[in-house]
Chains A and B, each alone.
Chain A
């Protein structure tokens, strides 16, 4: 039996897929995640591969209950994403997507901080090509901004790892905590990729600019690797509870007023990450199980929602809510699949969000965090409002748009990928035991009791009622062609503008200095010209006769001196 690193098949397939065409390419791309998952299946929790490199003990692969679940999850997400992207004939995207998936699998299996750093930067370098692949000026700029921030996160991780290990902690990646300065650097590095408040600008800026298929991959990997890393390095850190609550609550306001529907999903992605971060902060077995389970179901339903919006973008070329509507008439299958994703993210009973979100919320009550619990309930009502209702409503219903005439169902592979994701959403939601059995800690938790189901149904039904009332009373903010200022304003507007203003101030000073230097230069030139110029005293030409005369005088003088 050959044991191989689970990330390797994905990298090899990435290179192979980029140079092959047709059905061979399709087979390679579909096989890669399956082989990688099989490689994980061959390994037992507790298995490690170690290598020694330049005197450093590295652990490129370490399998345990937490990493194994994320490993399977990323391969499942990669498989669904690959099926969704089969119709796209763009070698650059094939290469980027599979290598990106490989980096994600590698990162969650990394047993030391140096290996983690390598995969961490690979995540950035590979994923950015999914944004560049849109091949517009706008996407190129967004990609560069994204890359800059992602790479900085990696550099913080590297410097944190150096500080941390030189303080005698070693390089192995286990509980880190905030006690050391290196710990803080690593925490911030993870925080950037996990889209902590104020560090989240890259996500909502870049994800909506990627290709329809690229965003599906983007939404699955980077942030969930960060969640995994936080869960391993910082469980039980109280600060994370506050951070998580802010993440769960503040993006939903933006989601309500945002026009670009994929950007709405990007905001709701941060909202869902908030639940996971709260779970890590609480740090009990139930909470960490909740985080892991929520990450699992989240990747599937968020992928499904992103895929349905990608299908709309693919078919109509439009994703702004103000320009869409009425598409249920031509895209009934996509509409239905989108609604399944919406029901899952909203945590309807029998859908996947219900059985995972409940664990985090229960953990908050158990640990006596009343305000946290109320905030999470608010976020739960809000997510139904903006992702559960708004996304399907403005894309597929609302007013009839001009795109209805030309719209049609997307290619079969897109429908199939959405169908698989939808089947998982319903499957996990209806048979939660299957997912619970794979969680890092053994659990007998059950989400399905009368009280809980009734409570959730009341919360959701009355949120829907609020939406209906606000919409009918024309209080609901309409979709408008617009852009909303968020933290990226600091580096997209404030910073460039201040540099411009500073330059405007500096230009007169610069000109004065230049003029002064030119004046000095001109003056010295004049002095030089006076002495050395063509009519200068040192450049005057003398007759040859006088030269001979002076030589004769010198010779005469030397003769005279010789005699004395």
Chain B
């Protein structure tokens, strides 16, 4: 995978991203379609609802994200809120490297 500067990777092409999204939508449609064909035996009355899991999964995630956005307004602070600097990546790397070297 060693690359030249110009090397094109799979998701550099927007076409491939669209392809992934389309594949996902197709899979979703097939899975709901299977609900018509296969009989899901239910251990709970709610499970008998058509495409219960599909609806529940979608609604849950949208609810999760929308509520998380509101929570973010309440709890999000600047990185330096607690007074300590975010780790300097370069420094951490150097330390690790020097630790490795000194012990070799």
Chain A residues at the B interface, C-beta cutoff of 8 Å? 21, 87-90, 134-138, 141, 252-254, 256-257, 314, 316-318, 320, 328-330, 332, 362, 365-366, 370, 373-374, 377-378, 381-382, 385, 397, 450-451, 454-468, 470, 472, 475-477, 480-486, 492-493
Contact = CB atoms under 8 A, between A and B. Distances in A.
B72 interface: yes
A89 B104 CA distance: 7
A459 B57 contact: yes
A462 B54 contact: yes
Contact of B44 (A365, A466, A472, A492): A365
22 contacts: A318-B89, A365-B44, A377-B53, A377-B60, A381-B60, A385-B61, A451-B38, A454-B31, A454-B38, A457-B31, A458-B31, A463-B60, A466-B58, A468-B24, A470-B65, A476-B65, A477-B65, A477-B72, A482-B79, A484-B77, A485-B77, A493-B81
Interface string B62-104: 1011111101101111110110111101111101100110111
Nearest to A455: B53
Interface of B: 1, 3, 9, 11, 21, 24-25, 27-28, 31-32, 34-35, 38-44, 46-47, 51-58, 60-62, 64-69, 71-72, 74-79, 81-82, 84-87, 89-93, 95-96, 99-100, 102-104
Judged by DSSP, the binding face of A is helix
B100 A456 contact: no
B93 to A, nearest CB: 4
By DSSP majority rule, is chain B's interface helix, strand, loop, or mixed? helix
The 9 closest A-B pairs by CB, nearest first: A89-B103, A317-B89, A466-B61, A462-B57, A458-B53, A317-B93, A459-B57, A256-B68, A381-B60
A257 B78 contact: no
B61 A463 contact: yes
Contacts of A467: 61
B57 A472 contact: no
Nearest to B40: A451
Contact of A468 (B21, B55, B75, B104): B21
A385 B60 CA distance: 10
Given A329-B1, A462-B55, A466-B62, 14 more contacts: A89-B102, A137-B84, A256-B68, A330-B3, A373-B44, A381-B56, A397-B11, A459-B54, A460-B57, A470-B62, A476-B65, A477-B65, A484-B77, A486-B75
A286 B57 CA distance: 25
B84 A253 contact: no
